[in-house]
């Protein structure tokens, strides 16, 4: 493993993973291959541009020609795929791009792993593939996948292809299923960065329904470390859950953000719930723990670091809250008769 192709590396987790790799493995050569959708930002990669082991290529994972050329030119031996459409609310509005990238794109990547005989490939997936998990239960990797949103279904579809290619063609592939990530460089459409950036500007925080839904909010670098452990020590054809094991209700998360920023709880605004909203996810992480991984951050540490980053990096997120973002925000919140764009 020496020449890594990081697809979707201009996004939130992918760009943090590049940082993780350069810190941990200074000898690795990293090629980020990314379509640069609204969520993929060259700004996220600025800090690597002068690194002599770093290259960026703009391309779609569903475009076999550009993908194949990139693999050949840079003698890629390892793939880690982060490329995906990732926002559940957008998948409810317009599922098409999710099928294109998360299903068809995964198929094109698998064909490339086969054609170029890569040493190994890791596909980053999500705990959402298990669907809603009732209280008292937690998902293990062999559980049936029961996705309930177009996003989760497209990720599960991609996963099924990964497993099928392992069985049928003996491909050296691994899957990870992470819980909700928080930390630097997350596009401010996701709940945590949306709430932090709204709160900084005294704009209401739109909480879906009663806000009693549970998520496992893990710090992004913990997730990156888990992906690294699965990449280096995981078994081909296996999936690995990665999460902190701590469940937090959305209302508790929102209160924590407001308290850290010294803002009033009256900024919370209950709005129409998400269609088909999964109220709870919960994963067991014993399998990745046996490979030597452990979560390093408590929820309190993770949310505090995240809030601090958004307070200190307003030049990163303020320009994002314009143009396409405002169109999306209007459709998602204001046109539904809820949420507000102003203080």
Binding site for ligand NAD (CB under 6 A): 7-8, 10-14, 34-37, 39-40, 60-62, 82-86, 101, 105, 124, 126, 155, 178, 180-181, 187
- The answer to whether 237 touches 163, Cβ cutoff 8 Å, is yes
128 is a catalytic site residue: yes
Tokens representing 278 are 């999964």
The item of ligand DAU, ligand NAD, none sharing an interface with residue 122, based on CB under 5 to 8 Å by kind, is none
Give whichever of 8 and 211 is closer to ligand NAD, judged by the CB atom.
8
228 is a catalytic site residue: no
278 is a catalytic site residue: no
Binding mask 87-106 for ligand DAU (x = CB under 6 A): xxx-----------------
- The answer to whether 98 touches 139, Cβ cutoff 8 Å, is no
Binding mask 241-280 for ligand DAU (x = CB under 6 A): ---------x-----------------------x------
Q: In angstroms, give the least distance from the CB of 57 to ligand NAD.
A: 10
Query: Does residue number 180 form part of the binding site for ligand DAU (CB under 6 A)?
Result: yes
> Which residue in the shown chain puts its C-beta closest to ligand NAD?
11
Q: Which stretch binds ligand DAU (CB under 6 A): 86-94, 113-121, 133-141, 161-169?
A: 86-94
Give whichever of 72 and 259 is closer to ligand DAU, judged by the CB atom.
259
Alpha-carbon gap, residue 31 to 20, rounded angstroms: 14
Give whichever of 99 and 260 is closer to ligand NAD, judged by the CB atom.
99
Q: In angstroms, give the least distance from the CB of 208 to ligand NAD.
A: 16
Query: Does residue number 128 form part of the binding site for ligand DAU (CB under 6 A)?
Result: yes
């Amino acid at each position: 493993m020496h020449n890594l192709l990081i697809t979707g590396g201009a996004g939130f987790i992918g760009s943090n993973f590049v940082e993780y790799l350069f810190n941990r493995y200074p000898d690795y050569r990293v090629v980020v291959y990314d379509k640069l959708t609204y969520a993929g930002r060259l700004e996220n990669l600025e800090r690597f541009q002068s690194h002599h082991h770093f290259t960026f290529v703009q391309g779609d994972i569903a475009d076999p020609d550009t993908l194949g050329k990139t693999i050949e030119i840079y003698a890629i031996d390892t793939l880690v795929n982060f490329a995906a459409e990732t926002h559940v609310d957008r998948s409810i509005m317009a599922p098409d791009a999710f099928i294109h990238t998360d299903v068809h794109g995964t198929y094109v990547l698998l064909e490339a792993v086969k054609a170029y005989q890569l040493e190994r490939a890791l596909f980053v997936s999500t705990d959402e593939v298990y669907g809603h998990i009732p209280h008292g239960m937690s998902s293990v990797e062999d559980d049936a996948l029961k996705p309930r949103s177009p996003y989760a279904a497209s990720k599960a579809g991609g996963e099924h292809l990964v497993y099928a290619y392992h069985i049928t063609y003996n491909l050296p592939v691994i899957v990870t299923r992470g819980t909700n990530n928080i930390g630097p460089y997350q596009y401010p459409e996701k709940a945590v960065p949306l709430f932090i950036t709204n709160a900084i500007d005294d704009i209401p925080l739109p909480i879906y329904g009663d806000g009693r839904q549970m998520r496992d909010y893990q710090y992004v670098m913990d997730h990156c470390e888990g992906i690294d452990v699965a990449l280096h020590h995981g078994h081909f054809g296996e999936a690995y859950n990665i999460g902190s094991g701590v469940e937090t209700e959305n209302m508790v998360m929102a209160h924590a953000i407001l308290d850290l920023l010294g803002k009033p709880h009256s900024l919370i605004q209950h709005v129409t719930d998400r269609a088909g909203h999964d109220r709870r996810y919960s994963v067991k992480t014993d399998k990745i723990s046996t490979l030597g991984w452990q979560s390093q951050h408590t929820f309190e540490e993770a949310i505090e670091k995240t809030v601090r980053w958004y307070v200190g990096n307003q030049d990163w997120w303020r320009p994002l809250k314009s143009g396409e973002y405002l169109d999306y925000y209007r459709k998602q919140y204001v046109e539904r008769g809820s949420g507000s764009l102003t203080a």
